[in-house]
């Protein structure tokens, strides 16, 4: 019997059947659908083995230069269409956002590591709709009165930390960003070395590495996750399950801390207690609630931190925009450090608003996300099947001179136009369409306040012999400074202003 099963004629027959089956499926697919130019790959894996790790951003840019506004990659069993212009991203992800709304099936990143509970990775299901609504309620412009005082407080603390410990500027950026969102959500401020924030961000960084296109075999071939194998035969679950447990434990710590403060009468009003009090989370089990709170904290902390790092690099490398912005700040707040800029000064400080947008465009460090199409669609002669994943080539677009004049230059004036007060217009840094970042308002308000205050009070310059890396994304690690920079107070009057107005905001 065994001999018959493995006899050469039977084996060759099976191989032949397999080839015929796939040839028919391939032909049917290509008769029905038409995708943008496909990057040549290999059978079965497609382009999976070609994706360059470490400098994927550069690889995608090179492909864009070769293939034009759109190209297709086949990563395992799935097609990815990469959009290389704001025009195509706006047309598809933006204007047709209702059908470019889902996330691709990621058994490893979304299900195993995140338990199918992380808003960022949720497909277009009921949980997504509920969580997205809660995120809007907590972070939208209607909540300005809640977070504006916290942004004021934390940015004063930021100035004080810059003054007292300029060498820890990058930690001060991280603390500001996480403290605003921890305060909004959980009613607590974070420290310069905050153990739980650090743990949350470390695990998140690991998850992000794993979900990068082509980084793990199960997300590339999702059927593998459905094969009924014991856990010891699914090596991806050995690390995946551990990461899920770590993530949940880190998020749970924030909720435990909140409960403890409330028990001890030390709780302050915050979005999570309010949500629980009003039962707005009805429909979320305990772990999903933990994931919602934890994900918002994680997503809000890192992004603002990275933009502030870009500002420090750009201020040291391009003193011309700093000088023009400081002139505007001096006109509004006084040239002898009369008072700190506030959110109410925004209409008089267009250059600061423009710099906030430019900090997201210039030298972008954050990876883009995939949007999965939920029904077949046609566009400019192409016919896309449902399930195709679309992403925007963030680095390629931001550094393309056809999109942005002198792209390597930090030049806020490029955003002085009718969209100045729309932080997500004219750039893709907040994403697009129905997955547009729900934290765009909090994020851009934070950037406005911190940029105006930092530039009003401090000068930045490069450290001789320690060039700031440009032409590649800055390091996202929090283990050390992503580059070296000199930070100096602008004058004794500015120092006096910070001591007077900010020392009480600083955490001792």
Binding site for ligand HEM (CB under 6 A): 119-120, 132, 135, 139, 181, 295-296, 299-300, 303-304, 307, 360, 369, 429-432, 435-439, 442-443
The smaller minimum CB distance to ligand HEM, of residues 237 and 435, is found at 435
Helix, strand, coil percentages (3-state) for the chain, rounded to 5, are: 60, 10, 35
β-pair partners for 383: 34, 378
Q: What minimum distance in Å lies between the beta carbon of 89 and ligand HEM?
A: 9
Q: Which of 258, 308, 266 is nearest to 155 (CA)?
A: 308
- Report the C-alpha gap between 201 and 171 in whole angstroms: 13
Token duo for residue 136: 């809007």
Q: What minimum distance in Å lies between the beta carbon of 444 and ligand HEM?
A: 7
Q: What minimum distance in Å lies between the beta carbon of 132 and ligand HEM?
A: 6
The smaller minimum CB distance to ligand HEM, of residues 289 and 497, is found at 289
Q: What minimum distance in Å lies between the beta carbon of 252 and ligand HEM?
A: 19
Q: DSSP letter string over 386-448?
A: TT-EEEE-HHHHHT-TTTSSSTTS--GGGG-STTTT-TTTT--TT--GGGS-TTHHHHHHHHH
Q: What minimum distance in Å lies between the beta carbon of 110 and ligand HEM?
A: 11
What stretch of H or E contains 320?
helix 319-333
- Report the C-alpha gap between 470 and 406 in whole angstroms: 14
For residue 408, the SS3 value is coil
Q: Which residues contact 208 (CB under 8 A, 6 or more apart)?
A: 367
Tell whether residue 270 is among the known ligand binding residues: no
The smaller minimum CB distance to ligand HEM, of residues 46 and 443, is found at 443
Token duo for residue 215: 């980084």
For residues 156 and 505, the answer to whether their CB atoms sit within 8 Å is: yes
The smaller minimum CB distance to ligand HEM, of residues 163 and 311, is found at 311
The smaller minimum CB distance to ligand HEM, of residues 179 and 303, is found at 303
Q: What minimum distance in Å lies between the beta carbon of 251 and ligand HEM?
A: 13
Q: What minimum distance in Å lies between the beta carbon of 466 and ligand HEM?
A: 26
For 102, list phi and psi in degrees, rounded to 5.
-90, 175
- Report the C-alpha gap between 91 and 84 in whole angstroms: 12
Which position has the token pair 């959009």?
Answer: 83
The smaller minimum CB distance to ligand HEM, of residues 341 and 439, is found at 439
Q: Which of 299, 392, 374, 296 is nearest to 124 (CA)?
A: 374
Q: Which of 257, 129, 113 is nearest to 186 (CA)?
A: 257
| Residue 401 burial class via C-beta count within 10 angstroms: exposed 0-12, middle 13-18, buried 19 and up | exposed
The smaller minimum CB distance to ligand HEM, of residues 52 and 133, is found at 133
Q: What minimum distance in Å lies between the beta carbon of 389 and ligand HEM?
A: 11
- Report the C-alpha gap between 376 and 385 in whole angstroms: 4
Length of the chain: 508
The smaller minimum CB distance to ligand HEM, of residues 327 and 419, is found at 419
Q: DSSP state, 491? A: -
User: What is the separation, in whole angstroms, between the first and last Cα of the chain?
Assistant: 79
Binding residue ranges for heme: 437
Binding residue ranges: 437
């Amino acid at each position: 019997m065994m001999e018959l099963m493995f006899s050469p004629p039977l084996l060759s027959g099976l191989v032949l059947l397999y080839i015929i089956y796939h040839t028919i499926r391939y032909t049917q697919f290509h008769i029905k659908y038409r995708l943008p130019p496909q990057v040549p790959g290999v059978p079965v894996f497609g382009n999976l083995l070609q994706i360059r790790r470490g400098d994927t951003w550069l690889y995608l840019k090179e492909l864009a230069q070769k293939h034009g506004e759109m190209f297709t990659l086949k990563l395992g069993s799935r097609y990815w269409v990469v959009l290389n212009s704001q025009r195509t991203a706006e047309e598809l992800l933006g204007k047709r956002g209702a059908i470019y709304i889902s996330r691709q099936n990621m058994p490893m990143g979304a299900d195993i590591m995140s338990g199918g509970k992380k808003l960022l990775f949720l497909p277009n299901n009921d949980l997504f709709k509920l969580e997205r609504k809660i995120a809007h309620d907590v972070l939208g412009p209607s909540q300005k009165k809640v977070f504006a005082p916290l942004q004021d407080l934390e940015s004063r603390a930021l100035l004080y930390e810059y003054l007292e410990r300029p060498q820890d500027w990058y930690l001060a950026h991280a603390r500001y960003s996480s403290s605003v969102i921890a305060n909004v959500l959980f009613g607590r401020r974070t420290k310069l070395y905050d153990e739980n924030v650090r743990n949350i961000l470390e695990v998140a960084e690991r998850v992000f590495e794993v979900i990068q296109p082509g980084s793990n075999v199960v997300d590339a071939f999702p059927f593998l996750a459905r094969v009924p194998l014991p856990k010891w035969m699914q090596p991806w679950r050995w690390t995946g399950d551990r990461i899920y447990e770590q993530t949940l434990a880190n998020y749970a710590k924030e909720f435990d801390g909140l409960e403890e403060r409330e028990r001890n009468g030390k709780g302050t009003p915050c979005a999570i207690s309010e949500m629980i009090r009003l039962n707005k989370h009805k429909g979320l089990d305990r772990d999903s609630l933990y994931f919602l709170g934890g994900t918002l904290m994680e997503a809000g902390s890192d992004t603002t931190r990275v933009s502030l790092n870009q500002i420090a690099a750009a201020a040291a490398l391009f003193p011309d925009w700093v000088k023009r912005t400081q002139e505007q700040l001096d006109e509004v707040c006084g040239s002898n450090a009369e008072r700190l800029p506030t959110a109410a000064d925004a209409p008089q400080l267009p250059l600061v608003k423009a710099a906030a947008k430019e900090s997201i465009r210039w030298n972008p460090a954050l990876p883009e996300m995939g949007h999965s199409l939920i029904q077949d669609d046609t566009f400019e002669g192409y016919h896309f099947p449902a399930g195709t994943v679309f992403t925007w080539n963030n680095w390629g677009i931001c550094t393309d001179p056809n999109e942005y004049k002198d792209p390597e230059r930090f030049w806020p004036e490029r955003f002085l136009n009718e969209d100045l007060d729309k932080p997500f217009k004219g750039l893709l840094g907040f994403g697009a369409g129905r997955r547009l970042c729900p934290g765009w308002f909090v994020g851009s308000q934070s950037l406005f306040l911190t940029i105006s205050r930092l530039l009003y009070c401090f000068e930045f310059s490069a450290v001789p012999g320690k060039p700031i890396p440009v032409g590649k994304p800055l390091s996202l690690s929090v283990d050390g400074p992503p580059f070296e920079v000199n930070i100096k107070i602008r004058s004794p009057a500015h120092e006096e202003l910070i001591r007077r107005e900010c020392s009480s905001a600083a955490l001792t």
